[in-house]
Chain A
Amino acid sequence: MKRILSTLIFVQCVAVSASAFAESNGPLDFDTPLTVYTAPKNNFAQIESSGRRSIAVSGETVAVVWTVSSKTTSTIFVAYRLPGNTSFSSPVKINRQALAYEPSISGVSGGRFIVGWEEEKKVWLRIVSPEKNGVAVQVGTSLAKQVSVDSNGKDSAVVWSQGNGKRYSIYSADLHINGHRLSIGPVSIVDNSKDNHAQFHPVVALTTAGRVVGWEDRRDGLTTIVTAFAPTNKPFAPYQLLNHYSSSPNRKFGRGSGAMRIALSSDQMTVAAAWLDKRNWRSGYDVFASQSLDGGKTFSGNELAQDQFAENLPQWHASVALQTGGKVTAVAWDDKRNDTPDVFYSLRRAREWSDDFELPGADGPGQQSHPSIIFDQQGRLHAVWQSMVNGVTQVRYVRTTTSQ
Chain B
Amino acid sequence: MRHLFLSTLIFFMQAGAVFADPPDNYPFLSYDEGLRQAQVEKKPIFIYFGRLGCGFCAKTNAESFSDPALRERYIKNYVLVYIDAESGDRLRLPSGEQITEAEIGARWNVFATPVFLYADMNGTILFRAPGYKTVDDFVDMDRYIQEGHYKTQTINEYLRSK
Contacts and interface: CB of A to CB of B under 8 A. Distances in A.
Main secondary structure of the interface of A (DSSP, over half): loop
A165 interface: yes
A21 interface: no
Interface residues of B, number: 32
A86 interface: no
Interface in A202-257: 216, 218-223, 248-250, 252-257
A101 B96 contact: no
A93 interface: no
Contacts of A200: 88
Interface in A32-52: 42-44, 46, 48
Contact of A254 (B17, B58, B103): B58
Interface stretch (B46-54, B133-141, B150-158): B46-54
Interface in B45-99: 51-59, 62, 85-86, 88, 90, 92, 95-99
A42 B52 contact: no
B126 interface: no
A201 B58 contact: no
A167 B86 contact: no
Given A166-B19, A336-B109, A222 B102 contact: no
A258 B51 CA distance: 8
A260 B112 contact: no
A25 interface: no
B19 A198 contact: yes
Interface stretch (A53-61, A127-135, A276-284, A319-327): A276-284
| B90, B97, B100 interface centre (most CB from chain A within 10 Å) | B97
Nearest to B87: A200
Chain A, interface size category, equals: 35 or more
Contacts of A167: 15, 18
21 contacts: A42-B95, A44-B97, A70-B96, A165-B15, A197-B18, A198-B17, A201-B88, A216-B86, A218-B18, A221-B17, A222-B52, A223-B53, A253-B58, A254-B54, A254-B57, A254-B59, A258-B53, A258-B54, A283-B112, A317-B106, A369-B106
Interface of B: 14-15, 17-19, 51-59, 62, 85-86, 88, 90, 92, 95-100, 102-103, 106, 109, 111-112
Given A69-B98, A221-B17, A316-B106, 15 more contacts: A42-B96, A44-B97, A101-B90, A165-B15, A166-B15, A167-B15, A197-B18, A218-B19, A222-B53, A248-B53, A254-B58, A258-B53, A282-B112, A284-B112, A285-B111
Interface of A: 42-44, 46, 48, 67, 69-72, 74, 101, 145-146, 165-167, 195, 197-198, 200-201, 216, 218-223, 248-250, 252-258, 260-261, 278, 281-285, 314, 316-317, 336, 341, 369
